[in-house]
Amino acid sequence: MVKVLVTGAAGFIGFHVSQKLLHQGNTILGIDNLNSYYDVSLKKARLQQIETHEKFRFYQLDIADRKSIAELFTQHNFDYVIHLAAQAGVRYSLENPYAYVDSNLVGFVNILEGCRHQNIKHLVYASSSSVYGKNKKIPFSTDDNVDHPVSLYAATKKANELMAHTYSHLYGIPTTGLRFFTVYGPWGRPDMAYFLFTKAILEEKPIKVFNYGKMKRDFTYVDDIVEGIARVIDNIPQSQTLNDTIENNKGSVPYKIYNIGNNQPVELSHFIEVLEDCIGKKAIKEFLPMQPGDVPMTYADVDELIKDVGFQPNTSLKTGLEKFVNWYRDYYQY
């Protein structure tokens, strides 16, 4: 039984992680700014699922608010921090760059500072498969070069990894970054393709199929992601040598990066076919070229996560989409 801070607790993954950790008997303090990037009522509905739990407390806070975050860490003796709050979305970063600077850069520094001053045992934070950009080598490995992001969102996530490494090096804070690969499932984000597709198909409206349906994504069901996160929390990184440069110049640091994905990329056109079967309706498709900031493929090499914590994604695409569609019909009364 430990006390865990979960940032972004009203978000898709944060909500599911909080549920899991509460079920395990942990005390959770969740924070979220409940911003209007997407439907706030969905965020509040997620919170209603967990806020009656005796070991859960929620504060509406913005991680970019330095003073409030510093006070939060001072007032509460957290054992672990799971940092999932961020401004999400690749395409939105083209329109609203400052939202990403405030949340993903300023906010992350505030979390790192809180961890530094309160001697947190382990900071686990969300990175993204987007850091790989247009990586040609597949599957994507954490050993691959990630110096060429193709969106501001991706650049902020790469920056988070560098910032975490710096704090691990300077202050000995154990940090683990998780590069998420296209997470989907019940209570998901309405801006995600599978959510938009489901809504449009049920309403018999056209769906936008980018890259003419030929792009591939390593779609990962949320329960598999959450199980991986729960296992990583207790796998606190020890000081270790990252590579020769760091060994020669900086010594070793308690820092780790993992891919967390399904390890099975699926072509978008096939994904839509499975979704159509689950809904029982055909989509009206509008085929479009690749969008700025998008990449043709994501594919996670998760061997290291399997080796270190026994991570094993086991939810098939059909099973995962059936669960999502059932939730969607129930929640939106279709």
Active-site residue list: 153
Per the CB < 8 A criterion, the answer to whether 202 and 278 are in contact is no
Q: How far is CA 117 from the centre of its chain?
A: 25
Residue recorded with tokens 């997407």 = 38
CA distances from 175 to 39, 95, 161, 166, 169 (A): 31, 31, 9, 10, 10
Q: Using DSSP, state whether 328 is helix, strand or coil.
A: helix
Contacts for 33 with CB less than 8 Å, ≥ 6 apart: 60, 61, 62, 63, 85
Give which of 306, 254, 232 is closest to 81, Cα–Cα.
232
Amino acid at 228: G
Contacts for 300 with CB less than 8 Å, ≥ 6 apart: 129, 139, 140, 179, 181, 218, 220, 259, 260, 261, 262, 263
Per the CB < 8 A criterion, the answer to whether 272 and 198 are in contact is no
Amino acid at 315: T
The DSSP annotation for 74-114 comes to: HHS--SEEEE------TTHHHH-HHHHIIIIIIHHHHHHHH
Largest CA distance in the chain: 61
Rounded-to-integer distance, Cα 191 and Cα 212, Å? 19
* Pairing status of strand 27-32 against strand 56-60: parallel
